[in-house]
A and B are shown apart, each in its own frame.
Chain A
Amino acid sequence: MPFDSARPRGRIGRPLLYQPSHAKAPVNEELSSPVPLPSAPPAGLGRFKKHIVLGAVFGGLLSSIPLLNCLNFFFCLLNMAGIALALSMYFKANPNDRATNGEAALFGTLAGAGAGLIAGVLGWLLGILLAGAMAGLMASLADKLPPQFAQQMAMQGTMNLVMIPVQIVLFAGFGALGGFLSLILFFKDKLRT
């Protein structure tokens, strides 16, 4: 009979033919116990949701501030800065997470589109306020507001509203570049290849 080293042995060295019941129990117990697994970071773009909104708000508000928006003269800088800021906040909150170039670009696209919407709506509201103030000033100077002026103001307001989708496309396009450039320029160690 060949020597079977794998089997458990008794006192005289013969292999035991039965398995004691307590020998197997801990293994089964270990397998069936509800041990919580460490939570993996959620996959997909959903994990960026909060920071995309933050990026949109940063970019949109910064681009709406009259003198500050001159910084947009260089490559939509404020829009990109908003995206870079939101990305840095995300990586600070999730230091172990990584993002691919595609995820960063989509992050930037969505944040940029939001920024375009916010900047467009704020610009439209500011335009209406300014037009109202101008109309009040004109009415105080002349007895009656010229009808052509009122018509022009109304048309300007409508055109500003029509331009909001154009602004969204513009900001979303540059936002995609902003997300990608932020990742490769500032967060290279966070790039998932």
Chain B
Amino acid sequence: MSGRLFWTLRALVATAGLIPWLFAAARARPAAAIALFHGLCHQLPERTACLGGVAMLVCSRCAGIYAGVALGALIPVPQRCVPRARKLLCVAAVPLLADVILQAAGAMPILHATRLTTGALAGWLASALLFAALRVERVSASDVPTGKERGVNPGVPSPISRDGGA
């Protein structure tokens, strides 16, 4: 993956994660945005955090996930975590699922803090692992020597090639 593509993807993921927060920062709740996010989140008022007296477009858990995804594009995990990506994702999913189950069962009150934190952890880890993996690929791709570095002259056909041997 080229450097430009890598940075474009990073910007895209960060922007996608920031969208509901940008609406919240602008204290805007246009009907079309509510309709758009209604397809992505239940938007129940008791589970939605308010910023500056205006309810966000998504619930607090989704807001956490979005924030985490944006943060992961900016702060990736160390590259040595990439081989353990599956385990780490499972570990990050445990508090999220525990929070979902406990709140749905009524064993725990609906707390925006836990919803935000557990969502942000899962979102951050998924996004951060993606960009760490892409960085590992970029580093390993730049380690492979090019033809010039190997001392191969691209203008002269190799003696073992089909054309050169005939």
Which A residues are closer than 8 A to B by beta carbons?
28, 31-32, 63, 69-70, 72-73, 75-76, 100-102, 105-106, 109, 119, 123, 127, 156, 159-160, 162-163, 166-167, 169-170, 172-174, 176-177, 180-181, 184-185, 188, 193
Contact = CB atoms under 8 A, between A and B. Distances in A.
B74 interface: no
Nearest to A27: B165
Interface residues of B, number: 39
B30 interface: yes
Given A159-B32, A177-B13, A185-B89, A63 B39 contact: yes
Contacts of A75: 65, 122
A101 B130 CA distance: 8
A123 B30 CA distance: 16
Given A69-B39, A174-B16, A160 B32 contact: yes
B86 A162 contact: no
B69 interface: yes
Nearest to B39: A69
Contacts of B14: 173
B53 to A, nearest CB: 23
A169 B33 CA distance: 13
Contact of A173 (B69, B122, B140, B162): B69
A185 B19 contact: no
A192 to B, nearest CB: 9
B107 interface: no
Contacts of B12: 109, 169, 172-173, 176
Interface string B19-45: 100000000001111011001111000
Contacts of B5: 102, 106
Contact of B42 (A32, A70, A170): A70
